[in-house]
Chain A
Amino acid sequence: MTYPPNNDPYGNQQPPQQPPPYGQQPPQYGQQPPPQYGAPQYGTPPPQQPYGGYGAQAANYAGWGSRVGAYLVDYVITAPLGILGSVLGQSNGKLNALYYIFLLLNLGLVVYNRYIQQGKTGQTWGKKALGIRLVSEETGQPIGGLMCFVRDIAHILDALPCLIGYLWPLWDAKKQTFADKLLKTVVIK
């Protein structure tokens, strides 16, 4: 199963029903309406969307630019703590307590933003600002904090071949990095 899942209530919205023409009785509750000519029979699976096009399904995947933008926003949010730590955390060329306090604060912020919040909602602050979300390709739901952490470790694969994995969403049908492919995750709009 791929994103969006078939049971996604937002993905299968039907257009509003036209009222029956005057003189025709609407079908009673519990009655099966007669099948329309050409309409798929009950139980027939819906036709598959073309894989990897720019059309319906592919349009939901977040672009490379949005993903980079979200990363930069997250970086900018945590950068002040790092700067404060390196400026105030040194005295006479030695690291003082403030350095470790800011380091811990920075770590806490990263853990909250990247793992706790993104694990629950699919969005870091950066992703929220850019209107994108990290979800499981199979369920369409956020992947949880632990898997977010594993995904960050898997980003090593993206970095290894001269960062090619990070560029992969530029041409990939589902706009996934290597880490996304490994963990079956997608970033969507």
Chain B
Amino acid sequence: MSDLRTFSTPERVGSFGLLVAGAAVIWPALSDQTGASVPCPLRTLTGVPCPACGLTTAAIALVRGDAGAAFTANPLIFGLAALTVSALPLLALRATGVMKLPRPWSPAGRRKAEWFFGLLAVASWLFQLHRLGVSWPW
């Protein structure tokens, strides 16, 4: 079995995206029957949404082919979907040993990526604050 260490970060996130896609197919079968949902702990406790709010709704909408609803819930899901689709062939090539071990990112490259994803998280948070607003529980 290939070790997870032999995969790069985008490939690992992409493989997580595969899990999300699988869960998005299975989850409605459970939630439609039971009415169960995955509430955001931060929003439940404080009334403030987090940057990842709406991802469950967006994932379910996307696997059902409703791109509009997915975008409205959380546009980040398209980034995860793109990463998942592009990571699939890389994962296969890496697992079969066709591709060599991934090269480590340089410190500068890692810093740039951290800034990029940090800004993306801030943008997503603003989006969710605009979409859901703040509903103080007290």
Q: Which residues of chain A have a CB within 8 Å of any CB of chain B?
A: 50-55, 58-59, 61, 63-66, 159-164, 167, 170-171, 173
Contact B55 A162 (CB under 8 A): yes
Smallest CB–CB gap between B23 and chain A, Å? 12
Contact A52 B53 (CB under 8 A): no
Contact A65 B4 (CB under 8 A): yes
Contact A51 B107 (CB under 8 A): yes
Contact A164 B104 (CB under 8 A): no
Given contacts A52-B105, A53-B104, A170-B13, contact A162 B4 (CB under 8 A): no
Which of B4, B8, B41, B117 is the one whose CB lies under 8 Å from A66?
Answer: B4
Which of A52, A63, A160, A167 is the one whose CB lies under 8 Å from B41?
Answer: A160
Tell me the complex Cα distance, A160–B48, Å.
11
In the bound complex, residues from chain B placing their C-beta under 8 Å from that of A54 are: 5, 8, 101-104
Which of A52, A64, A65, A66 is the one whose CB lies under 8 Å from B110?
Answer: A52
Tell me the complex Cα distance, A170–B83, Å.
13
For chain B, the count of residues having a C-beta within 8 Å of the partner chain is: 25
User: Quick check: is B115 within 8 A (CB to CB) of the other chain?
Assistant: no
Which of B5, B45, B53, B55 is the one whose CB lies under 8 Å from A63?
Answer: B5
User: Quick check: is B32 within 8 A (CB to CB) of the other chain?
Assistant: no
Given contacts A66-B4, A170-B13, contact A52 B40 (CB under 8 A): no
When C-beta atoms are compared, the residue in chain A nearest to B3 turns out to be: A63
Contact A162 B104 (CB under 8 A): no
Tell me the complex Cα distance, A64–B103, Å.
19
Tell me the complex Cα distance, A30–B97, Å.
50
Contact A162 B8 (CB under 8 A): no
Which of B3, B16, B55, B105 is the one whose CB lies under 8 Å from A53?
Answer: B105
When C-beta atoms are compared, the residue in chain A nearest to B8 turns out to be: A54
Contact A162 B50 (CB under 8 A): yes
Contact A162 B105 (CB under 8 A): no
User: Quick check: is B28 within 8 A (CB to CB) of the other chain?
Assistant: no
Contact B42 A161 (CB under 8 A): yes
Which of A59, A161, A167, A173 is the one whose CB lies under 8 Å from B16?
Answer: A167
